[in-house]
A and B are shown apart, each in its own frame.
Chain A
Amino acid sequence: MERLMKIDRRIIYLIAAALVILTLFVPLGLPVKISDMTRGAYSAIENLPDGSLVFIAPMYDPGARGELDPMFVAMLHQCAKRGYKMLIGNTSWTLGVQMLHPIVTDILGDYGYTYGEDYIELGSKPGGSIWMQQATNDLVTACITDYNNQPLAQFPIISQVPKLAAEYVDAILVLDCGTPGAREWLTYVSTPTGIPLVVGVIQMSVPEHTPFLDSGQYKGLIGGSRGAAEYELLVGKPGKAVKSQDTMSVIALMVTLFIILGNIGYLTSRKK
């Protein structure tokens, strides 16, 4: 039994890699049950008034693409289906908006959205929470230019949003993988202005963000790849997150098994 505690980590890596690759090519088709948490986030976006304008802030970089890209894609589909106007941009996560630009162009192009009228990409602005606070006073001064370095004031959609305030913006949808992220949007924008906040987070941040959902400070929370899969199903666009659920389930089982074996080995060696 003591040998259980001395398994070479490389064997564990090999087993896990084999399981990941196997489930990638041979899907098991395990069912994905939709949780109340994800349904709440979906409803919070779905039930915004017709003709709403939302600010989507993808606050992440390539490291979090696996979990947050599916949420972002599904979010774009949901907002476009409902006909919402969109401001898309972030602060500090420079790579995020660059890697998402083709996705935005493709999806919103398919829905017949016109750049500058129905949606605009603000790019990534420096400053973090300082930028957020400045945007609540004057959006054009805070941004100056759009993603393509064109002066922001020339676009019709911007005349409808002089600043981030509840009378102009119906919801802020944040995809979070660190700092600055959803907590900063809550502190410096949502709380002072009263704009509802819906958040999508990576799996490891779910426990940290759940209290803000329980307190009503977040109007919705989508958690990790599981939440992304549920959200894709709700939006009616099953994609990468749904596909990844077989792998995640198998890996969760494997990790649990190794933890149990490790503990059996530990308890046995302690008795001796």
Chain B
Amino acid sequence: MHLSTNPGIWAQALCILAVYTYLYKDNPVWRFAETVYLGLATAYWFVYMFFNYITPAIQEWIIKDGQWHYIIAILLGLMIFFRYVPSLSWLARYPMSFWVGYGTGYVLAFDPAVWLTQVSATFLPLNTVKNVLVFIGVLSALVYFLFTIAKENPVVGGVAEVGKWYIMIALGSAFGNTVLYRWNLFLSRMNTIFVQWLGFSV
């Protein structure tokens, strides 16, 4: 055992222990750690945004490269703050409208190529058990989400029931993987405490 002399490791370890005290019950130590984290994260992201978005845009692109049209985008962005002026709050809708329109167009320009490949990947020859299971799964899960057709019909209802089981198995698999991931997080934290902080060799 060789206790770490690195202040960073000490800070990490003490924060980990402070956060885990919540597992017993809510307490001031946990709330202190939570508040410190929120403050640090807010300051970090403010500085990050300032030096990575605002400074390069003004210094590099506008002043140095003379790309003055970026000023239009900056002014459009600043209009969002009109929401704090009740009489002019309607002006704040314009940057949002622009952003929603741009975002929609951007996604539609790139996404279909990805999803159409996903669709065509389900057009499989039914010559293996896996392919048959994929075919049944895709079809039945799609039927489950057909809300315009009455599920009282025994054929539609039966297929939808199969689809429901497929979805439940998928959700169960996702849950199982999530549980294991969380435990891996815990294991990493124990490594920090026992190996990096307390200096045990494992």
* Residues of chain A whose beta carbon lies under 8 Å from any beta carbon of chain B: 10, 13, 16-17, 20-21, 24-25, 27, 63, 65-67, 94, 125-126, 129, 133, 144, 183, 186-188, 191-192, 202-208, 211-212, 214-217, 224-225, 240, 243-244, 247-248, 251-252, 255
Contact = CB atoms under 8 A, between A and B. Distances in A.
B4 interface: no
Given A13-B23, A25-B200, A192-B113, 12 more contacts: A20-B190, A24-B187, A25-B202, A67-B184, A129-B106, A183-B114, A191-B113, A207-B170, A207-B177, A215-B120, A224-B180, A225-B184
Contacts of A126: 48-49, 52-53
B186 A187 contact: no
B202 A94 contact: no
Contacts of B60: 144
A187 B174 contact: no
B177 A224 contact: yes
B114 to A, nearest CB: 5
A244 B187 contact: yes
A224 B183 CA distance: 12
A225 B185 CA distance: 10
Contacts of A20: 183, 186-187, 190
B121 A215 contact: yes
Interface in B75-97: none
B32 to A, nearest CB: 20
Contacts, number: 108
19 contacts: A24-B187, A25-B194, A66-B188, A67-B184, A133-B110, A144-B56, A187-B113, A191-B110, A191-B113, A191-B117, A203-B181, A204-B181, A207-B173, A207-B174, A211-B118, A217-B117, A224-B177, A248-B184, A255-B179
Size category of the B interface is: 35 or more
A165 B134 CA distance: 33
A163 to B, nearest CB: 17
A247 B56 contact: no
Given A13-B23, A214-B121, A204 B177 contact: yes
Nearest to B186: A20
Contacts of B182: 204
Contact of A67 (B53, B181, B194): B181
